[in-house]
Structure 1
């Protein structure tokens, strides 16, 4: 997969992950568009037709000629527009009339004058006013600039009688939709700008690559906030089928699911401020007891047996993010790191791995709590193998399946 494809994929994942911000941006844009539509109400359009007389015959020819472009220019000239604006009630300035009036040549002898107004009546009056002033200008007895001369015979072919347009529903829908589109684009740009500076690890492959350790499983966290919640977790924890399978795989991979075997122990290391990862140790202890492995939970050297005499001791070790120092001198059979997706950077995870190794402990793997819903990686394939281009298992619903 090329770097460009990866960037596009990550960008799309970032937008989907923070789609609430995009929706908020679209909503704000929609509201602003509707407000703008009410501030600038829809315009009505009316049109009037003026017919010119046949062109004068030039001596020595059988036909005459006249410049229709000149007539269009006269119809849109400042004096015509100024006089037309002054003939309305209320009056309109020349600049306003110029923005609202458009003259065009329908044929070589017919000019169409389209005018816009805030109401149907105003647009009809403005179109007729421009047409009437134009007729005055081209039929005057006085000599006009450019030696236009007297143009008798020009007349109103069709006066404006009705206007069209002005639908407030369509107008507000158009501006509202445009505002929503621009707002969504702005929200997406904001999300991508934030994502470029976000170094937190979200995908299982990213977490595994940061320290070269496999991700053993992914589990949903247990929302425990006070001692009563922790007591409820230890006494009545009932994981979903997917979480139960992930916990069982973790214990089996660590060889800690032997019933009636020799005593074993496990250290679960997590950051103290990672509230979603702190529940993994109690979850493992409570779950192990459900299938016959008596377990105990050890926190700050205080041991609590879950059900009877324990054969599996699970030590919960919380460390500081900036300066991870492992507490306690007792070594355990296995050691794992628990962290939640999107809460740790590669540097922080590397510092924890270094501190664990310096304490003569071997990290056997990582368990990710509350994985990113968009993550389809498994965190068990080496980075060098993924770059080779061969296709590897893709995580779909909590279990790994090999794609064909």
Structure 2
């Protein structure tokens, strides 16, 4: 049955079937071959979405849409521009920095690319930056949307792996900052090589202060969301609702860039995204339960155990697995399928579930940047008006930098575990 499951999945994906449908078809094929009632798929899909913590996903998606339309992303960009816009490759560094701020609001990679890239990519092109470079910077910066908390994949990992979502959020802070710094360094090196200069405006503390004051409500959003979670005021699920209400109030009544006429469009866009996510989540959950039923994790554990019992060797093998599967598997599908498959294996070797969760999310993060799936790349190419092939080549140095940080965190788990351990005391 596991063979039928795997073969059906590979064949359907090679035929170009959407990942959610491919997972559903392969699950159905295995159920029929094994004589298991096909209602198993429907029941798995229903129970997967009948989950209170999962309610955070649609609300965070809606919050990101409202804040993008309401002008919060523009003000975040203004602050980053005043801070770093005058250095070599300043707009590229500003892009990554702004993505880090917006990631602390949206929890989504593609949403971060759309919100920040839609503002900065046209400006970069006007300043003489290459379209491929502009698209690559925005794509890689947008990938931080699922690493810096709040994060939708972290919420799903917490549900599937029975791991504290709040601890996962805390663990993502330092790795997120490290990845952001690595992407800024790569942006600077390439910009210097290509001769992309800064804005030419001298740094002004007064102008920076003015930009920060104008953006105070936007900058307060991540403080409100994350501070409320870590302060025990509300749960991650409740924080998503708070983010929606806050985004509406700021957009409608303070910045006044979000109008009542914009609300239906925001709700529709969010609903379309949520619908796609829930379909993937439903079929992937049934798939994950089926492979657990057939004891595939135990078989994988035996296979990996035959290669090595060293947890670092195993983690590096897992990292390379994520690098490969990210090219054709959607982020949530990876999280839902690999969590029950690999979490028991790595924990048996002494790996902390939070450490593994961060590596899993970071591996999925690379999947945003690798075609043919590469969702972030498709968003960026549409904005930069450049071919996928050009952006795919330009993003390679950023992928290398991201993978280097993954390797570092693999061998130094305290980078991810330090804050959760400190705050747990």
With the shorter chain as reference, the TM-score category is: under 0.3
Under a length normalisation based on structure 1, what TM-score does the superposition of the two structures give?
0.23
Q: Larger Rg: 1 or 2?
A: 1
TM-score between both structures, scaled by the size of structure 2: 0.22
Higher percent of residues as helix: 2
